[in-house]
Structure 1
């Protein structure tokens, strides 16, 4: 759009001072669909990334006879995909797949993890429905977004919210940045050049084999979307022509929760 080069994950982290990122998804594979290439770029830049998957994924998969083992399988798929990207740890909240709601019990768990990890940025699914592609707006996805946004302000920074957390030594702190993925295109205000990490994203997604009945079609869809996003946002100054190499991007809604302009409570 601007004709200026899109920032890389390393440049975004350096600009905003991100050293630790806590990333939330609804199901195993959501984070890898939404942000795997960016995560790969962040970890290569020395950013510590932790995944938190909020449901057990038990409603996924296609083979009824193996469904009693799907939760264990999907958790291992997520651990393997995360390790490939340089993610140090994967946590699972264990909520039931398809039944996630932004209740206070769930929000308290999110706040607990934020206070424990004290990240510079929280990556999460968007709480707004995308009417252009409804599949991005699974009810669990929206519930993750709503729970994380409610946790980000005011609960995580309010010492009187969920008082038993403070009793456990999890003190309040002010989250600087919220980075939302999977939302409506109109909300996108940060597009990151992930060229060179697009294959990392595909390799991560291949680990979620239980969810992909047609891997080649899935991969083509993912690459096409990343390339189209880069072309749309890089503007007229981008390289063009048949011989120009394809470039790839991932997009987010970046929200400053607490920055230099923030006054407590406003």
Structure 2
């Protein structure tokens, strides 16, 4: 049991990302540890990823290629269910239509942890704050509270049998460092994480440099989290939404 009262290993997790590969950079080692412990984890990628990549030869069919890459990466960390909303890459906004589909997925899955990109800009490494990343975080946050738990929000979902649901915990990855409050020790899963990232071959013009930087990021996370030297960690901003410390409507 974590200090905030959350079970150390969730049972059901729904992960949101703006693009294929975002999850693998941000949280795949933690996800691998959860699935190894028996958790059910599903991904929902909001855009089609068609603006990504570095090679002209990949341009025709890039969206389909990136879906294949994401499914392959997910399988490497024990995730079989991946859905895609197909929003245009680079133009994601927290619109009513996007939030409705996020609410739909939350009500279908009924996760005890929702994992998402962060809605706030990070100035320490601005690459974490692609506009689509921020839009993903904002749309998921609006869906988590109050839409998903309000039976009068999107009544067509309620009428279709997708009933309101209270999300207990919201985890953000790609957070500004001053918001980080959970460091998950992923020592021993570095290779698994890197394999998942590397599965997105269309996104890596320099695989060796990427892999070196990822290992360095994991070690830096561990240092910030106060873990012993030589450990690796992924960092999160964890928010209790509906816990024994919260009151409905407050």
Q: TM-score range by the shorter chain?
A: over 0.9
SS at 2:247's partner residue? coil
Taking the aligned partners of 1:232 and 1:127, their CA distance within structure 2 comes to 21
Deviation at 1:229, TM superposition (A): 1.4
- How many Å separate the matches in 2 of 1:12 and 1:212? 38
**Structure 2 residue matching 1:15: 3-state secondary structure:** coil
Question: How far apart, in 2, do the equivalents of 1:166 and 1:15 lie?
Answer: 29
Q: Which structure 2 residue ranges, 5 or more long, are not aligned?
A: none
Q: Are 1:188 and 2:199 an aligned pair?
A: no
Change (3 A) 1:82 1:13: farther
Matched, 1:103 2:95: yes
Alignment of 1:249 onto 2:241: no
Which residue of 2 is the match for residue 22 of structure 1? 14
Q: Name the CA distance, whole Å, in 2 between partners of 1:231 and 1:66.
A: 38
Indicate whether 1:42 and 2:5 are aligned. no
Aligned residue runs from structure 1 range 51-66, under 5 A: 51-66=43-58
Q: Normalising to structure 2: TM-score of the pair?
A: 0.96
Question: How many angstroms apart in 1 are the aligned matches of 2:50 and 2:4?
Answer: 35
Q: Is the 8 A contact 2:9 2:37 kept in 1?
A: no
Query: What residue is the counterpart of 1:164 in the other structure?
Result: 156
SS in 1 for 2:59: helix
CA contact (8 A) 1:27 1:53 kept: yes
Q: Give, in angstroms, the shift of residue 167 of structure 1.
A: 1.3
Normalised by the length of structure 1, the TM-score is 0.90
Q: Is the 8 A contact 1:52 1:91 kept in 2?
A: yes
Larger radius of gyration: 1
Q: Tell which has more relative contact order, 1 or 2 (C-alpha 8 A, sep 6+).
A: 1
Moved over 4 A (4+): 11-14
